């Protein structure tokens, strides 16, 4: 992959564009995280395997917490 590095000015421009789109309701839900992530993805080199495993581990933890909450709410419907 050929990394594309954005200048701080470009990041600011895209950042303020995203904020504007959120404020005007043009960017909603998961699109927001996706758009923000895309900026930093361009600015940083590829993630290492260790970093990816750490992210996956964090997902695992978040899912575990939510699973417990869901089971508590499910009550007799489990």
Partner 1 sequence: MKLRITFALIAITLLVATGCGSLPAKERAVTSLAATQSSLEVLQDAERRTCNPVAFDADATKPILTCEGALATTLQLTTAKHQAFASSMAKAYSLQRRAAIALQSWHPGQPAPAELVGLQSQAQDLLTFLNALAANENQKQLIAAGQALLTEIQKVIAAVKG
Residues that bind partner 1 (CB under 8 A): 1-2, 4, 14, 17-18, 20-21, 24, 26-27, 29-30, 33-35, 37-39, 41-42, 46-47, 49, 52-53, 55-60, 62-64, 66-67, 69-78
Could you tell me the smallest distance in angstroms from the CB atom of residue 8 to partner 1? 16
CB of 7 vs partner 1, minimal distance in Å: 14
Select 12 or 52, whichever has its Cβ closest to partner 1. 52
| CB contact set of 21 (below 8 Å; sequence gap of 6+) | 27, 35
Q: How far is the CB of 9 from partner 1 (least distance, A)?
A: 14
């Amino acid at each position: 992959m050929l990394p594309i590095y954005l200048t701080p000015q470009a990041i600011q421009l895209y950042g303020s564009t995203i904020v504007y789109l959120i404020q005007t309701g043009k960017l909603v839900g998961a699109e927001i995280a996706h758009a923000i992530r895309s900026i930093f993805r361009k600015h940083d080199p590829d993630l290492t395997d260790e970093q990816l495993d750490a992210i996956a581990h964090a997902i695992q933890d978040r899912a575990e917490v939510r699973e417990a909450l869901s089971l508590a709410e499910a009550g007799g419907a489990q």
